[in-house]
Amino acid sequence: MTDCHFYIFKLILAVVSAVETNYLYQLNQLSRDIEGVQILKGISLKILSGEFLALLGPSGSGKTSLLRLFNSLDSPTAGILDYRGKSIEDWDIRLLRQQVGMVFQEPVVVAGSVHENLTICQRWEKPIKPLSDLDLLATLDKVGLKSIDMHMDARSLSGGEKQRLALARVLLNQPQVLLLDEPTASLDHTLAHRIIRRVAELHREMNLTCIMVSHDPTLVRRFAERVVFLHEGQIAEDGPVTILDRPTSAQLQAYLAEER
Amino acid sequence: MENSFYAITWTDVLVSLVLMVMAFALIRWWKIDLGKTLLIGTIRTFVQLTLMGYVLTYFFRQDNWIFMVGLVLMMILIAAYEGYSRQRSHPIPNYFLILAGSMLITVFLVLGLILQFILHTQPWYYPYAMIPIAGMIIGNGLNSATLTVNRFIAEINHREKEIEMLLSLGAPPRAAIQDALRESVKAALLPNVNAMMTVGLVQLPGVMTGQILSGIDPLIAVRYQIMIMYMWVTTATMMNILVLALVYRRFFTPQWQLKRELLRVK
């Protein structure tokens, strides 16, 4: 091999690795078993920074199981899961979870006031600069809860308010990725759309990557940019949101027909 | 009749069977399906305690610290095994070792303090003090630890979503589970603390009753009982905290993930 070849080789390697690390998440032949049952099978997926991706599929298709892996609430049984070009297992877990926030299906608030819920991370991590009431108000404003009384008992909030409080709590960590596990499943249609519209705005304003589990094609059509359709633990279809108008796989066609 | 006691003879014990006959009669009268069990219980009580009497007499004659320490270790292992088998429906990895280790530490500290600084026993392994007190520490510690661990598992089941939410925000396992730990210890200690409030008012504790029956001055019996009450609460607190500090870690992976599969009943 001549020097010239060698340098070209090096250059190609550098370009390849630069492109590779550009992916926020990279999944390769990933699977997950729970007590001997394969929930996810051979998932390969690449997610770019700044995407709004929806994981769509019938219940039991593995959407939530997949989402939980992105925040390392679970680990894959086999295969590769990289976050920012590094295996997720090699990340400092605290740093990873600060960068990757999660909003769960059912809103969870801890006993205490709205203020205590918002500043909960300070229980285990002394901040360099404690969160001021102004910071909190600014974040509450982002989720549309500006007028709430911060000394109110968080458990007395309505379902929609609790979910927005949960969103605000995650945002205070200044995440770069937001995982949403059907966060509006327990809410009515109008409220659900209002909350996801907020999320979509944050996604644009803060260049926040959003990965949202949903079984509501209307919601997905309206706000997501990319759709990954899961069926029985496998990716049946993956593409821009327009694939919902021209589904190619039989599974997605059947699913959409049923949801209609 | 000062400082005397009525030694109970074997004939007297046989007469006490009349008590059991009364119980049997009542059970037969109401046709409660318990007769066989009661009969076995009556016989086992007699046989087990008689054997224990001979065993204790033998133990008390030993003048050998290695023997005494070995005996206490034996008691700890048996109790830890008992606790471990009670936990079969919800197996916790290394639970036997956790129990045995926590008991060892608790017994060492509490028994050591009592023998050395309160009773000033000579020799330090004086069997008449060491064996019953060790037995009380181990038995009470085991019961309290079982209560705490059961409560703790119920708490994690109940708070699963909250714990995962906290973990997802970057909380270390300890912070995510803190409320569950506190609630469990508190719930398990409450009976002990309540007993301190009513002791002597509602009923006399067994040890004190026994001492008074065997002719010991109530004022001395009371001093023993005060020490025992303090010992119980401290033993329970120490055991609960040691056991839970080791148990809660089994519910998390090194990646700070909740092992949800441990929550489901086997």
Q: How far is it, in rounded angstroms, from Cα B165 to Cα B66?
A: 52
For residue range B187-198, list pLDDT tens digits in order: 999 999 998 998
Residues of chain A contacting residue B256, judged by C-beta atoms under 8 Å apart:
72, 93-94, 97
**How do the domains of chain B map onto residue ranges?**
1-61, 63-262
Structure-derived torsion over alpha carbons of residues A95, A101, A107, A108, reported in degrees to the nearest 10 = 0
Using CA atoms, how far apart are residues A116 and A122, in angstroms rounded to an integer? Answer: 9
pLDDT digits (tens, 9 = 90+) for B129-180: 999 999 999 999 999 999 999 999 999 999 999 999 999 999 999 999 999 9
B contacts of A34 (beta carbons < 8 Å)? 261
User: In chain B, where do the E strands start and end?
Assistant: none
A 10 A CB-CB count for A46 gives 15
State the Cα–Cα distance between residues A64 and A105, nearest whole angstrom: 9
Where do the structural domains in chain A lie, given as residue ranges?
Answer: 3-259
| Best mutation target, B168, B178, B179, to test chain A (most A CBs within 10 A) | B168
Q: How many CB atoms lie within 10 A of CB B33?
A: 7
**What was the pLDDT predicted at A16?**
62
The CA dihedral of B202, B204, B205, B210, to the nearest 10 degrees, is -160
Strand partners, A31: A78
Residue A189's pLDDT band, with cuts at 50, 70 and 90, is confident
A109, closest residue in chain B (CA to CA): B162
Alpha helix stretches (DSSP H) within B62-126 = 65-86, 95-113
Q: What is the DSSP letter of A130?
A: P
Closest CA to B232 of B134, B101, B137: B137
Express each pLDDT in B112-126 by its tens digit: 999 999 999 999 999
| Residue B248, Cβ density class (10 Å: 0-12 exposed, 13-18 middle, ≥19 buried) | buried
Residue with the two structure tokens 């995650």: A170
CATH superfamily of A3-259: P-loop containing nucleotide triphosphate hydrolases (3.40.50.300)
Cα A46 to Cα A27: distance, rounded to the nearest angstrom: 6
Residue B152 CA to residue B143 CA, distance in Å, equals 14
Residue numbers of B between 125 and 184 with CB closer than 8 Å to A: 161-162, 164-172, 174-175, 179
Contact B175 A111 (CB under 8 A): no
Compute CA distances A90 → A66, A86, B168, whole Å.
19, 7, 17
Residue A245: predicted pLDDT: 93
Q: What is the mean pLDDT of residues B215-243?
A: 94
CA distance B245 to chain A (A): 17
Best B169, B258, B263 member to test A by mutation, with max A CBs in 10 Å, is B169
Which residue is closest to B175 within chain A, CA to CA? Answer: A124
